[in-house]
Amino acid sequence: MSGVTYREAGVDIDAGERLVERIRPLAARTSIPEVLSGVGGFAGLCALPSGLHDPVLVSGTDGVGTKLKVAFAADRHHTVGIDLVAMCVNDVVTTGARPLFFLDYFATGKLDVEQAGRVVEGIADGCRQAGCALLGGETAEMPGMYQAGEYDLAGFSVGVVERSALLPRADVQPGDRLLGLASDGLHSNGYSLARAVLLERAGLALDAPVDALGEPLVDALLRPTRIYAAPLQRALDAGGVKAVAHITGGGLPDNLPRIMPQQLACKLEAGSWPEPPIFGLIARLGNVPAQEMARTFNMGLGMVLVVESQRAEALCQLLNDSGERASLVGEVIARPTGAPAVQLG
């Protein structure tokens, strides 16, 4: 009786090597001057940028969640790679940090080099948008752990900021303005609810055009999370930004309080920012209460900045000139005892 090989047990080392060779040039195109080693070693090496006096390293990790189920059904895999980078670097930049590098973890039952390659192409695209290096990653082939054709993703990003420039600042006060950066849709949160309403309850087909959206449902669902690193850096360089919130799971009610002193609240002005039609569609077809929508989705705002009132108009214009859809969406107010931290007026 012949011995059992690793390949017969379900793990193809040669396929893993082919994927590494496919990744190597993708990672090289994301390189920054601080990178000291490329993909393929046991660890990635990245130096701190020169000229920093008291640098602080900032880290963030995340995944893509059940948005992957839509990617599997549609056999589209590039955009979820962008999502993976976005969900990590958008957290890192809220501290005022510049993203330096990114690492990914790709796990599957049986490695499909073409499928995995498309995911990593998206990751490299996201890194270029964020201005950080794809420094390395890990591919795990685990037979029996995943359904055929499925995988899971996780990512990890590190940035750097001068200690003196860390956000949020301690001087957030009543009268500061709230500046919102529009989202491109669902981004990567709330997909369990979105799928339950749109695909299961309403029975919509992924590839069918939806009048309310003006496009096929799959395009709206797989539009990648917007990466705010570059325009936000321009706003930080201009001055006047006091705090930044990335609007992810928990929506505006749960994420804005994370950057506010307890004695203060955010008063948002209803209708002051554009709301992508995907949110109205979910609310209508699922009869989802407004409060549930607000705590599940970003509702059209991917980031909210707290800015000095006298700089608010100029910063809003700068961000719009940078290609964002920025708008002034409210202000910071004193918070009476027992009042909510986020108020919609």
Whole-angstrom CA distances from 296 to 40, 96, 225, 248, 291 are 39, 26, 15, 8, 9
Amino acid at 88: C
DSSP 211-254: TTTTEEHHHHHHPPPPP-HHHHHHHHHHS-EEEEEE--TTHHHH
13-165: CATH topology: 60s Ribosomal Protein L30; Chain: A; (3.30.1330)
Q: Hey, where are the domains in the chain?
A: 13-165, 177-344
Q: Is the peptide bond before 168 cis (omega within 30 degrees of 0)?
A: yes
* pLDDT score recorded for residue 2: 67
Kindly tell me the burial class for residue 200, based on how many C-beta atoms sit within 10 Å of its own C-beta (0-12, 13-18, 19 or more).
exposed
Q: CB within 8 A of 5, min separation 6: which ones? A: none
177-344: CATH topology: Phosphoribosyl-aminoimidazole Synthetase; Chain A, domain 2 (3.90.650)
* Adjacent-strand bridge partners of 343: 267
Joined tokens for residue 242:
């006091």
* pLDDT score recorded for residue 1: 57
- Measured distance CA(2)–CA(9) in Å, rounded: 13
Query: pLDDT digit string (tens) for 107-154?
Result: 999 999 999 999 999 999 999 999 999 998 999 999 999 999 999 999
* For the chain, the helix, strand and coil percentages under 3-state DSSP, each to the nearest 5: 35, 25, 40
Q: Hey, which bits of 53-97 come out as E strands?
A: 55-63
> Is residue 300 classed as helix, strand or coil in its secondary structure?
coil
> Is residue 59 classed as helix, strand or coil in its secondary structure?
strand
Amino acid at 10: G
Cα 46–chain centre separation: 23
- Measured distance CA(62)–CA(236) in Å, rounded: 24
* pLDDT score recorded for residue 345: 76
* pLDDT score recorded for residue 300: 98
* pLDDT score recorded for residue 84: 98
Q: Hey, which bits of 251-294 come out as E strands?
A: 264-268
Q: Which residue in the block uniquely carries the two structure tokens 């790679």?
A: 81
Query: pLDDT digit string (tens) for 265-281?
Result: 999 999 999 999 999 99
Joined tokens for residue 307:
């800015």
* pLDDT score recorded for residue 5: 73
Neighbours of 211 (CB within 10 A): 8
* Adjacent-strand bridge partners of 56: 161
What's the mean pLDDT when you consider all of the chain?
A: 94
* pLDDT score recorded for residue 4: 76
Fold match flag (13-165 vs 177-344): no
Sites in the chain below the pLDDT cut of 70 = 1-2
